[in-house]
Structure 1
Amino acid sequence: MLELNIINETSKLKAVILGTAKSNGPVPKPEDCYDPKSLEHVLAGTYPTEEDMVQEMEEVSAILSKYNVDVYRPKVIENYNQIFSRDIAFVIDNKLVKANILPDREKEYLAIQHVLDLIKPENIIELPEECHVEGGDVMPWNEYLFVGTYSGEDYPDFITARTNTAAVKALQENFPNKSVKPFQLRKSNTNAKENALHLDCCFQPVGKNKAILHKNGFLLESEYNWLKNYFGADNVFEITKEEMYNMNSNVFSISEDVVISEVGFTRLNTWLRENGFTVEEVHYSEIAKQEGLLRCSTMPLIRA
């Protein structure tokens, strides 16, 4: 059996689900895109090829193996996008929460059944149907549970609004020992530079007390300020709109001092190294065209 344990984003990683780009399917039609960045690349004819994305994910798999992490992969569904394993479920403490994601993506959850079978049934939580939540919006951080959300009355109009108020309340009920802290995110169906698809598109903790942050991803300046004050201005790496668009906050921590990052994130990777981190660089710019990066494609199960 798997003894799930996720208290925060950066403790030493022991086991993870890494998505797969195999049999990823044809280039989607514009009307079938779930986010503005994928739409942009479909229209421009620059949507990534399966071959390139498989190669990028194998680079990540190799680094995880180098650090002795147990890596699980989804069962491959033919002609289906299964890259972003963080969307379908997430772990808090010793519980796995099934994400109530877009109905079209239910198959993705079924493709990790071989992993779910290793978890005690009482440690799997399925939230009520009205709770919409995706793992990219949920960040356990010790006593806190940081949750990206959108509570505007126009929530149904945004396919990019993935976690609602009902889910925030349900998480608080299921994890009463956590202080659940919601953050309102900026949403756009059409402009990737004005859209924080998930909380990890504009914020992520690294190490023990540092964070990557993008101010414009937050609708409320007071909530952005809370995070900046919590970590301390000297511990925060502020990314630009262009860097947010390129997913600079969507790196992935193997431990408190090792971070997997995209080779093109020059400014961020320099800052990380200056602050004592080992940066394992990979090529992930093709996968980034779908508005997701390293955190999105990994779903940690156990951290020490």
Structure 2
Amino acid sequence: MLQLNITNETSQLKAVVLGIANSNGSIPKLEDCYDPKSREHVLNGTYPKEEDMIEEMEAVAAVFKKYDIAVYRPKVIKNYNQIFSRDIAFVIEDKLIKANILPDREKEYIAIQHVTNQINPINIIELPKECHIEGGDVMPWNEYIFVGTYTGDDYASFITARTNKHAVLALQQLFPNKIVKSFELRKHNTDPKENALHLDCCFQPIGKNKAILHKNGFLIEEEYNWLVNYFGKEHIFEITKDEMYDMNSNVFSISEDVIISEKNFTRLNNWLRKNGFIVEEVPYAEIAKQEGLLRCSTLPLIRE
């Protein structure tokens, strides 16, 4: 049996589900794109090729191997995008919460059944239907659970709004011992530079007390300021609009000292090294074209 344990984003990783890019399917039609960035690359004829994405994901698998981490991969479904395992479920403490995602993506969850079968069924939680939630919006951080949300009356008109207020309330009921703190995110269906698809597209805690942050991803300045005050200005790497577009906040922590990052994130990677982190650089620019990066394609199961 898998003894799930996740209380934050950075403790030493022991086991993880890494998405898979094999048999990824053809280039989507415009009307089937779930986010503005994929849409942009379909329009420009620059949508990523399967073989490039497989290569990128294998580079991450190799880093996990180097650090002796147990890696699970989804079963391959023919012609189906299974890269972003963070969207389908997430772990808090010893519970795996199945994400209520876009209905077309239900099969992705079934493809990790060989993993969920190893979890005590009482620790697998399915939220009520009215709770919309995806793992990219959920960040356990010790006594807190940070959640990205959108509660505007026009929620339904945004294909990019993935986590609603029902889900925020449900998390608070599930984890009464935690403080669930939600952040309103900026949403845009067609402009990727004005859209924070998930909380991890504009924020991520790293190390013990540091964070990567992008101010414009937050709709409410006080909520952004709360994070600045919580981590302290000197512990924050503030990314530009272009860096947010390239997904600089979507790196992945193997431990408090080791971070997997995209090799082109020069400014970020230099800052991380200056601040004492070991940076494992991988190529991930093709996968980034689908508005997801390293955190999006990993689902941590066990941290120390």
**Letter in structure 2 aligned against 1:51:** E
Residue in 2 that maps onto 1:240: 240
Residue in 2 that maps onto 1:271: 271
The answer to whether residue 182 in structure 2 is matched with residue 175 in structure 1 is: no
Residue in 2 that maps onto 1:210: 210
Residue in 2 that maps onto 1:52: 52
**Letter in structure 1 aligned against 2:42:** V
Seq. identity, % = 77
The answer to whether residue 124 in structure 2 is matched with residue 96 in structure 1 is: no
- Helix, strand or coil at the partner of 2:136: helix
Residue in 2 that maps onto 1:112: 112
- Helix, strand or coil at the partner of 1:14: strand
CA separation in 2, counterparts of 1:119 and 1:228?
37
The answer to whether residue 47 in structure 2 is matched with residue 78 in structure 1 is: no
Residue in 2 that maps onto 1:143: 143
Root-mean-square deviation over aligned CA pairs: 0.2
- Helix, strand or coil at the partner of 1:34: coil
CA separation in 1, counterparts of 2:74 and 2:176?
31
The TM-score normalised by the length of structure 2 is 1.00
CA separation in 1, counterparts of 2:244 and 2:176?
32
How far apart are residue 94 of structure 1 and its match? Answer: 0.3
CA separation in 2, counterparts of 1:178 and 1:54?
38
CA separation in 1, counterparts of 2:36 and 2:62?
30
User: Could you give the per-residue CA deviations for residues 146-166 of structure 1, whole angstroms, max 9, x where no partner exists?
Assistant: 000000000000000000000
- Helix, strand or coil at the partner of 2:43: helix
**Letter in structure 2 aligned against 1:277:** F
CA separation in 1, counterparts of 2:54 and 2:122?
34
CA separation in 1, counterparts of 2:261 and 2:286?
14
How far apart are residue 211 of structure 1 and its match? Answer: 0.1
CA separation in 2, counterparts of 1:42 and 1:228?
36
User: Could you give the per-residue CA deviations for residues 24-81 of structure 1, whole angstroms, max 9, x where no partner exists?
Assistant: 0000000000000000000000000000000000000000010000000000000000
User: Could you give the per-residue CA deviations for residues 172-201 of structure 1, whole angstroms, max 9, x where no partner exists?
Assistant: 000111100000000000000000000000
- Helix, strand or coil at the partner of 1:212: strand
After TM superposition, where is structure 1 displaced by more than 4 Å over at least 4 residues in a row? none
Superposed, 1:154-303 pairs within 5 Å as: 154-303=154-303
How far apart are residue 18 of structure 1 and its match? Answer: 0.1
CA separation in 1, counterparts of 2:2 and 2:105?
25
**Letter in structure 2 aligned against 1:32:** D
In the alignment, structure 1 segments of 5+ residues that lack a partner are none
**Letter in structure 1 aligned against 2:45:** G
CA separation in 1, counterparts of 2:247 and 2:266?
13
CA separation in 1, counterparts of 2:293 and 2:23?
19
In the alignment, structure 2 segments of 5+ residues that lack a partner are none
Q: How many residues align?
A: 304
CA separation in 1, counterparts of 2:65 and 2:117?
23
The TM-score normalised by the length of structure 1 is 1.00
**Letter in structure 2 aligned against 1:280:** E
How far apart are residue 19 of structure 1 and its match? Answer: 0.2
CA separation in 1, counterparts of 2:83 and 2:18?
8
Residue in 1 that maps onto 2:67: 67
User: Could you give the per-residue CA deviations for residues 111-138 of structure 1, whole angstroms, max 9, x where no partner exists?
Assistant: 0000000000000000000000000000
**Letter in structure 1 aligned against 2:27:** V
**Letter in structure 1 aligned against 2:222:** S
How far apart are residue 284 of structure 1 and its match? Answer: 0.0
CA separation in 2, counterparts of 1:123 and 1:66?
30
